[in-house]
Structure 1
């Protein structure tokens, strides 16, 4: 006989899941007992976060890096409620995640037991209802297997996201007969929607004679990126990315015009204008504020739009589009790339840099700041420099606030030609924009990336919220470089208040030495007050060895990040 916790882990092992992120507690103890047995037998192992929100962020990062379902767990009551921000972040960004929270034993429901999170206590199941794709209480042992399979099917569907199983203590420890894991798991995972042949013919007809088109690559285009680039290069079309999809392409590609949307580039906006794009082909993204620069009708949101996605939710706002097609992007784009490959004398598309070493065809704001070495560290210089000296396969996670604003605009991805087309090198948790997301998420990425380098860029505000999760990377010996952009302020709030004419309130933080904090935790740490000190470090060597390292970078707090599009929304200018 085995316990239900073992049954869950047997299924996770079948799915290739290596880690379960969480924090132990009384009601979740049977699952941790099963994790101990699993680890001894080479199956999924426990990674202990410092806070349950951090555990959910870690599961998010692991899913992004591996393409597998991320798994996190928590005990009853506050353990479950602590998960919710991380789960909501995954829901907003469409990240497949299995969330397991405990309940006290069913017979104790409504009896005033410690951490009662049942329908007769603090109803945590109801709290998860609006930030999960599937949400259920497993009230009897016989329900567990079928509900687990249902949850997996929802999490990994064409509308991916987190799912939640709330499992009482007595149900989790109940014993069941060991049996062969359901051989029909393919009924629940790895399905592609085949696009309509009629719709494909309409798209082909629209694009066959178009001389000028611009493709907008979204995060959902992962897996089809090689087909997209083949199409771009064969037709000599331009392409841009949404902020979330920046890591799917090489920033130095000669046809790339940068990021369109939140903190994006003017060159991307120009590439979408009618004179440069008879058709705008949006691939694998929703038409949200972040991806459309506040629903700019002069660019994407027009009758020139052709919208392609495997996620039906992405297409729900495309009411103005000329055509919308639902289906697997890889299946959709392969015939396009083949049939439209008609350019004679096709030339090889080699990465191009300008005399500053920056992408030649992207209009970068305050370009001169990218080479500045005077005074405090300029964020523009920091992002350009770090993206240049980090190995080409470095994964970067950028936290909410100034960090992801600077990163979207100034971090340049050097994506290798042979890099896994399913994976991205640039990550932002921008759907829900939770502060501290990148700290936990980068730990999960590092768990999935093995020895490959991961960089987390966060702010001092986020570090004060969630910085303790760095000790999980220390305990697990993950290859991870943490960077704190330290301006003694909630920087995005501070600049937003100033630009928007709001009251200047609540944005100042104390002057914290995060290098000393890191050293107190036993982590190799450096305080960087100017570019010379940063350039003296061998970043590539630091990223070549196991274990975390922390850089406390004092940045010029008066440099304003590229936040114009966001301010227009906040001030009602659009």
Structure 2
């Protein structure tokens, strides 16, 4: 006989899940008992976070790296409420995740149990209602299997995101027959949405007649990125990415013009102007603030727009577009490319870099700062140097704050030829923009794939929030390089206050020695204050051995990150 906890794990095994990230506690103990039995037989095992929000971030990192379902869990009460920010972050970025929270036993609902979170107490199911794709209390043992399948179907659909099962203690303990039907799962997993044939013909007509086209690759273009690059090369079309789409194309590709939107490049903006783009084809992007440069009407958001996505939510903001198509970008461009790519087989274009080592066709703000070796470390120079010396297969994450501003603009993506086109090497959590997101997510990503180094850029403010999750990487012996950009302030807020003319308040952080903090955690740690000290580190050795490493980087706090698009939105709101 299987307990319901074992039943859940057997289904998750069929999905290829390897870990459940969480923090144990009284009401979730039956699931951990099942995890102990699973681990003994070589199945799914738990990874213990230091905080439940960190567990949710880790589950997101696992899902991003593997394409599988990320799984996190918590006990009742504060365990469940601690998950919320991480779950909301996954919801905002469309990450498939199964969230399991515990409840006290059903017969004790309304009796004032310790950590009770039922409908008559602190109602956690209601709390999760607006940040999940599916959200339910399993109120009877017979409901579990059906609701689990419904949850998986929503999490892995063409509108992916987190799903939540709240399971009482006694329901989780309930025993069932041993059988699990693996065939049931196939009907509930992601299936490509075939585009309407009439829409495909309309797209062909639009593109065949246009000589100047710019492709905009969002995160939803991943599955078709190789086809899109080949099509652009055959037709000599320009390519830009959204901030979330950065990482799908090599930064040195001759047709690439950089990132458009939040912390983006002027060269990308130029590529979308009417004189360079009779048609703008946006693939797999939601057209939100960060991917439209604050809803700029002169670039993407015009009647030149053709918007394509498999996610209907993405298409809801395309009211001005001349053509909108719901469907799998991969299926769509498989048929389109056969018609638009004519003649003999074309060789892929070779990547191009200038004499200074920067991508030739991307225009950077203050490009000279990328080579400035004077004084405290310039974040521009840090990003330029680290993107050159990291192994090609490095997964990089940029945390909320100055880190993702510097990273979007100055990090150079170098894609190995052998890499799957659907894999992105550059990761940001822009949907909900949670401080500390990259710390837990980097741990989950490293656990998912132990063969490749993971590099996490975070700020001192973010690290002080959730830096203890680095000890999970230590416990799991994961190759995570954590770079803490130390400017003794909440840097993005500080610069935002200055640029908006606001009061200079509440952004200072005491001078913290993060190197000593890292050593106290048992993590190999270094402090660097100059580019010379940075270059003296033996990075090949750091990347080649297991276990985490912390690098405290004293950065020049006077450097202003590329946040003009964000300030435009904030200041227009103030003026209105």
In 1, the alpha carbon distance for the partners of 2:480 and 2:209 equals 48
Residue in structure 2 matched with residue 479 of structure 1 by the alignment:
479
Residue 231 of structure 1 contacts residue 336 of structure 1 at CA under 8 Å; is this kept in 2?
A: no
Per-residue CA deviations over 1:218-273 (Å, capped at 9, x if unaligned) read 00011111111111111010000000110111000000000000000000000000
Per-residue CA deviations over 1:436-455 (Å, capped at 9, x if unaligned) read 00000000110112221100
Q: CA deviation at 1:343?
A: 6.4
Residue in structure 1 matched with residue 162 of structure 2 by the alignment:
162
1:557 lines up with 2:557 in the alignment:
yes
Residue in structure 2 matched with residue 531 of structure 1 by the alignment:
531
Residue in structure 2 matched with residue 271 of structure 1 by the alignment:
271
In 1, the alpha carbon distance for the partners of 2:456 and 2:47 equals 19
Secondary structure of the 1:194 match is: coil
Per-residue CA deviations over 1:59-100 (Å, capped at 9, x if unaligned) read 011100100010000000000000000000000000000000
Residue in structure 2 matched with residue 311 of structure 1 by the alignment:
311
Per-residue CA deviations over 1:276-330 (Å, capped at 9, x if unaligned) read 0000000001110010000100000000000010000000000000100001110
Compared CA separation, residues 347 and 143, structure 1 to 2 (3 A): closer
Q: CA deviation at 1:346?
A: 5.0
Residue in structure 2 matched with residue 218 of structure 1 by the alignment:
218
Secondary structure of the 1:180 match is: coil
Residue 92 of structure 2 contacts residue 432 of structure 2 at CA under 8 Å; is this kept in 1?
A: yes
Residue 225 of structure 1 contacts residue 421 of structure 1 at CA under 8 Å; is this kept in 2?
A: yes
Residue 515 of structure 1 contacts residue 525 of structure 1 at CA under 8 Å; is this kept in 2?
A: yes
Residue in structure 1 matched with residue 27 of structure 2 by the alignment:
27
Residue 254 of structure 1 contacts residue 352 of structure 1 at CA under 8 Å; is this kept in 2?
A: yes
Moved more, 545-554 or 445-454: 445-454
Residue in structure 2 matched with residue 62 of structure 1 by the alignment:
62
Alignment of 1:425-464 (within 5 A): 425-464=425-464
Structure 2 spans left out of the alignment, 5+ residues: none
Residue 451 of structure 1 contacts residue 546 of structure 1 at CA under 8 Å; is this kept in 2?
A: no
Alignment of 1:115-130 (within 5 A): 115-130=115-130
In 2, the alpha carbon distance for the partners of 1:345 and 1:478 equals 43
In 1, the alpha carbon distance for the partners of 2:271 and 2:78 equals 49
Residue in structure 2 matched with residue 300 of structure 1 by the alignment:
300
Q: CA deviation at 1:387?
A: 0.6
Residue 247 of structure 2 contacts residue 424 of structure 2 at CA under 8 Å; is this kept in 1?
A: yes
Residue in structure 2 matched with residue 113 of structure 1 by the alignment:
113
Compared CA separation, residues 427 and 345, structure 1 to 2 (3 A): closer
In 2, the alpha carbon distance for the partners of 1:254 and 1:366 equals 21
- Equivalent pairs counted in the alignment come to 574
RMSD: 1.1
Residue in structure 2 matched with residue 496 of structure 1 by the alignment:
496
In 1, the alpha carbon distance for the partners of 2:215 and 2:358 equals 22
Residue in structure 1 matched with residue 104 of structure 2 by the alignment:
104
Residue 398 of structure 1 contacts residue 456 of structure 1 at CA under 8 Å; is this kept in 2?
A: yes
In 2, the alpha carbon distance for the partners of 1:114 and 1:157 equals 36
Q: CA deviation at 1:37?
A: 0.8
Per-residue CA deviations over 1:175-196 (Å, capped at 9, x if unaligned) read 1111033412111003111101
Structure 1 spans left out of the alignment, 5+ residues: none
Q: CA deviation at 1:342?
A: 2.9
In 2, the alpha carbon distance for the partners of 1:407 and 1:184 equals 43
Residue in structure 1 matched with residue 10 of structure 2 by the alignment:
10
Residue in structure 1 matched with residue 336 of structure 2 by the alignment:
336
Residue 377 of structure 2 contacts residue 531 of structure 2 at CA under 8 Å; is this kept in 1?
A: yes
Per-residue CA deviations over 1:187-206 (Å, capped at 9, x if unaligned) read 10031111011100000010
In 1, the alpha carbon distance for the partners of 2:345 and 2:545 equals 45
Secondary structure of the 2:359 match is: coil
Moved more, 524-533 or 177-186: 177-186
Q: CA deviation at 1:344?
A: 7.4
TM-score by length of 1: 0.99
